Structure 1
Amino acid sequence: MVDPTLAEMGKNLNEAMKMLEDNQRKAEEENEKKYARKDIPGPLQGSGQDMVSILQLVQNLMHGEEEEESSQAYRLQNVGEQGHMALLGHSLAAYISVLDRERLRKLTTRILSDTTLWLCRLFRYENGSAYYHEDDREGLLKICRLVIHTRYEDYTVEGFNVLYTKQPIIYISSAARTGLGQALCNQLGLPLSCMCRVPCNTMFGSQHQMDVALLDRLIKDDVESGKLPLLLVANAGTPGAGHTDKLGRLKELCEQYNMWLHVEGVNLATLALGYVSSSVLAATKCDSMTLTLGSWLGLPAVPAVTLYRHEDPSLSLAAGLTSSQPVEKLRALPLWLSLQYLGHDGIVERIKHASQLSQRLLENLKNLDFIKTSVRSVLNTLVV
């Protein structure tokens, strides 16, 4: 038997989503109707308002007069049943957080262990731990702190004083997402000189893959200068271009210089498929990777996940990758519900479908380039 409170919670969520979707449908049918500024909520009413009135206010805000010209961009998407499961997870997390401490601890431990086990098996990452976070850069940030704690034994006691003797260096690709290096330095309290951008190949190979030979020389120069190569951020799918770095070679280089290898990118999603390229498969041997399952599976409001391997739980706790607070572990609940709803086959099918769509788009773009080239050749001939 389902707990009446849980059943009521699910019913209320379905009713709320139905109200918003119905209002959206009516707004599209009555396109001439425009909401005025007076519809935007003002001071709190003393007697409060019911759920229908509050949802109407939300709808009014979504179609405020200042967004009239671009109202098409604010349409409420049909999130589907799997999206409802993710949204229900946030409601359940609030409900579960008021349980007594012992029941809360047991429940959150089960949710966290289940989700971590499923993700490690899905993405072929053996014996991994998981950190769930809202900002997709936060996982890498905590990993950097973990590596600092690991490589500088006195960091916990002396703090940044221990970094003076050997300046830490973090290496990222020049094809990495904009602002990533600066964001890491700002959050870690490190100068920008601790960030080394590695150029991509320009004469040989892809223009979006990290130049491994040049990286090797950069690391040697830093070691000779008394600096400490700390961590390398590699891409399995560069932003915009989708290229994968030579992860196998980069892993060998990291082992040679005792560096941590972190991998991120959309191509990591293909690890869940039965077939995967050798370059992406090499990511399973990295020290950590960040997965953005919300965008891969079309799930709203689910956290990103950073999988990592480390033997010392005390250092993971010091870096913020684990928490002693049971409520913090409830971040995984929306993902726990969504993964169970989709199942292994459903997850694989969604990723496979997205991969096929990408392949078809690539083929169409190639055909378009061929047509443009042919037309240009014909025009040049006519001109001559």
Structure 2
Amino acid sequence: ACRLQNVGEQGHMALLGHSLAAYISVLDRERLRKLTTRILSDTTLWLCRLFRYENGSAYYHEDDREGLLKICRLVIHTRYEDYTLEGFNVLYTKQPVIYISSAARTGLGQALCNQLGLPLSCMCRVPCNTMFGSQHQMDVALLDRLIKDDIEFGKLPLLLVANAGTPGAGHTDKLGRLKELCEQYKMWLHVEGVNLATLALGYVSSSVLAATKCDSMTLTLGSWLGLPAVPAVTLYRHEDPSLSLAAGLTSSQPVEKLRALPLWLSLQYLGHDGIVERIKHASQLSQRLLENLKNLDFIKTSVEDELSSPVVVFKFFQEYSNRDQTSHAAQASTIQHPIISNEGHIYDTFNQWLGEQLAQLVPASGVDVVELEDEGTCVRFSPLMTSAVLGTEIQDIDQLVDCLKMKIPVLTSTLQLREEFEQEVRRTISLLYIEDLDWPGLGVVRYNYHSDEKNDDKQEKELEKINTELLKKLNELESDLTFSLGPEFGGQKNCVYIGMVTEDLDVSELVETIVATGREIEENSRLLENMTEVVRKGIQEAQLQLQKANEERLLEEGLLRQIPVVGSVLNWFSPFQASPKGRTFNLTAGSLESTESMYLSKAQGTGSTPPPTPTSSLTKQRLPGQKAFKRSLRSSDGFSETSSVSHCDDLDKLDQRPPNLSPGQEQGPLEMERAEEQKEVMQAKTDTETIHSDKLPPDCTKAEDQASQR
């Protein structure tokens, strides 16, 4: 909906053209022929004047590759005179060769061969420069050698497809030298690319201006001007109209000529000044972004011409500053590939994340992520392809730069702390570091579950349960970090993925917290697993002890007291004082305990104060308002030392921890949880149901009452 709103009235004119074409097609044949001829000739004349292409013809097509396909057929008909009569037999005797750049659109060569019915051997990919010049420009010297080799093998060089703005980086081939080479070998030169739009401006670079001398070019006006559903245009020069008709570039059907009607209406509405203004605005946007990128550290740009480059490609690269141009002049305009493969993979991942973040934060900018052969993953800004539709303005570029300034410190901090986090985790016994180069963040960690269980499925489920609960606990902490299960596809299972971080992150505290939380979850899990067995054994032991207590009571009271009548009389004359005996079940220890001390303390009315609840000191104390995993202001100048965590160290810290905290200190999340847990255990122990050894008979109770009355 947002894109349709930005299309504006000129887009409505283009849509109206399709409706009018349907109505016009029902006119009588003579009127239809005159009207379509006028529309086609006017549109072709305007486009040739606008883009400085003199004496050209135009072919309008929906698919942007269809124009090049028709041009290939035209060249085949031109170079093979007997092709109309003998067909592919002529091609068999002298195989045609079509040359395209290695930086061309993906699948272009294969699509041409499939549509023309030619084998893939007829397609020759020309590598780009490797030593001198732009790494996205076609190597002219190598192309010359390839053409000579093909001629020696009896092949016929047919056509060369050059770029005025490669699909990835937006660089322009050396069209002047390529045109001379094509004239030397009688080849057809076809040019395509986004930089052809700048031919409509007053100032045009010499490299792009050379495209006006080529044999044909393809223009995609829909994306340049923000016009929906308008056809692409292929301008060409050829003197034989019969061959153009045979190749399909022209048609005798008037309805076919109505394809130009939506474009004719849109050009009428915009006018010459409106078209030039849109293209000029897109060029100004790219220049504004390029000027701001020059002042940013850790940002490398890859542009062909810093004065007029419609496409800006940049990436995050933490090696040299953009201002250090004197000592690294060779890297001023090109992005160097990292030496270490893992490092290059990490940079690709980080730049992928950067491009996605910028596109999400500033959607009106139209930035996207592009994969280049030498530079790797980069962020591309091509306003000629997006600004007219998205309505990009100067303030959007300023907002994009501001967002980029905020993301650069996050990227540098994460890249620096990534290695420290890996070393800290590898030194910790309970954690396993998972190397995932495709994850844009601090790293990936898994809590190791130590179990003697031989069933792999059960152990895998328990591992998943612990790490899932660990992720939940970490997300409940008050911190700026993001913890997740990783990407939806291709990620590791049963792991905790940690996202981007800032420079004040305390890696040691983070690892300690993960270990402590994981160990606590593991202990609780084992406690729940053993609870059923412990309770069952406790009940059996309680029954045995109660039976033994009954036998001891019989020996103490004697046999006479067990006789119904005699026992009542004997209890009345000589009451038997027996202290109640019972058992309590300690869930924490899993053992039975006597209730004598409990009754004694209640009878005396002076219950003993329970010992203070020990609290854990696995995480350092934070200042008021300070979030978790943040270094304090005193230690913010340097990174804290890392140390591994072991179970014995945890017990020592628990013993050395003072029972009460000072008012200026705060308990961490783990300390509070453990304190509450131990309070619940003490409460459960106090409120546990008391199991009495036996009930006193009614006669004995009556005798006790009478004795008390005496």
Normalising by the smaller structure, the TM-score range is 0.7 to 0.9
- Would you say the 8 A contact 2:103–2:168 is kept in 1? no
Indicate the structure with greater helix content.
1
Matches of 1:85 and 1:200, distance apart in 2 = 42
Q: Which residue of 2 aligns with 1:168?
A: 96
- Count of matched residue pairs: 311
- State the shift of 1:367 in Å: 3.8
Secondary structure of 2:235's counterpart equals: strand
Q: Which residue of 2 aligns with 1:127?
A: 55
284-293 vs 355-364, which moves further: 355-364
- State the shift of 1:357 in Å: 1.1
Indicate whether 1:333 and 2:261 are aligned.
yes
Amino acid at match of 1:298: G
Matches of 1:268 and 1:236, distance apart in 2 = 6
Amino acid at match of 1:305: V
Matches of 2:289 and 2:77, distance apart in 1 = 45
Q: Which residue of 1 aligns with 2:248?
A: 320
- State the shift of 1:94 in Å: 0.2
Tell me the C-alpha RMSD between the 2 structures.
2.1
Matches of 2:280 and 2:5, distance apart in 1 = 22
- Would you say the 8 A contact 2:161–2:189 is kept in 1? yes
Residue 83 (structure 1) aligned to one of 7, 11, 16: 11
Secondary structure of 2:93's counterpart equals: coil
Q: Which residue of 2 aligns with 1:95?
A: 23
User: Any idea what the Cα deviations from partners look like across 1:97-149, whole Å, max 9, x if unmatched?
Assistant: 00000000000000000000000000000000000000000000000000000
Q: Which residue of 2 aligns with 1:357?
A: 285
- State the shift of 1:359 in Å: 2.0
Q: Which residue of 1 aligns with 2:236?
A: 308
User: Any idea what the Cα deviations from partners look like across 1:213-248, whole Å, max 9, x if unmatched?
Assistant: 000000000001100000000000001200000000
104-113 vs 353-362, which moves further: 353-362
Q: Which residue of 1 aligns with 2:226?
A: 298
- Would you say the 8 A contact 2:97–2:124 is kept in 1? yes
362-371 vs 342-351, which moves further: 362-371
- State the shift of 1:319 in Å: 0.2
Distance 1:75 1:341, change over 3 A: closer
Q: Which residue of 1 aligns with 2:143?
A: 215
- Would you say the 8 A contact 2:101–2:128 is kept in 1? yes
Amino acid at match of 2:266: S
Indicate whether 1:226 and 2:148 are aligned.
no
- State the shift of 1:366 in Å: 4.0
Amino acid at match of 2:107: G
- The 5 A counterparts of 1:197-276 are 197-276=125-204
- State the shift of 1:362 in Å: 2.9
Matches of 1:326 and 1:114, distance apart in 2 = 15
Indicate whether 1:343 and 2:271 are aligned.
yes
Indicate whether 1:178 and 2:121 are aligned.
no
Q: Which residue of 2 aligns with 1:151?
A: 79
**Identity rate, percent:** 95
Higher relative contact order (CA 8 A, sep 6+): 1
- State the shift of 1:355 in Å: 1.0
Matches of 2:95 and 2:297, distance apart in 1 = 48
Secondary structure of 1:164's counterpart equals: helix
Secondary structure of 1:79's counterpart equals: helix
Q: Normalising to structure 1: TM-score of the pair?
A: 0.78
Q: Which residue of 1 aligns with 2:70?
A: 142
5+ residue gaps in structure 1? 1-23, 25-73
Secondary structure of 1:130's counterpart equals: strand
Amino acid at match of 1:83: G
User: Any idea what the Cα deviations from partners look like across 1:37-83, whole Å, max 9, x if unmatched?
Assistant: xxxxxxxxxxxxxxxxxxxxxxxxxxxxxxxxxxxxx9744421100
Amino acid at match of 2:241: P
- The 5 A counterparts of 1:52-91 are 76-91=4-19
Amino acid at match of 1:178: T
Matches of 2:122 and 2:177, distance apart in 1 = 23
Distance 1:163 1:270, change over 3 A: same
Residue 215 (structure 2) aligned to one of 287, 295, 308: 287
Q: Which has the larger radius of gyration?
A: 2
Distance 1:356 1:75, change over 3 A: closer
Matches of 1:151 and 1:75, distance apart in 2 = 46
Amino acid at match of 1:351: I
- State the shift of 1:302 in Å: 0.3
Amino acid at match of 2:159: L
Matches of 2:224 and 2:216, distance apart in 1 = 19
User: Any idea what the Cα deviations from partners look like across 1:251-287, whole Å, max 9, x if unmatched?
Assistant: 0000000000000000000000010000100000000
Matches of 1:149 and 1:88, distance apart in 2 = 37
Q: Which residue of 2 aligns with 1:38?
A: none
- State the shift of 1:363 in Å: 3.2
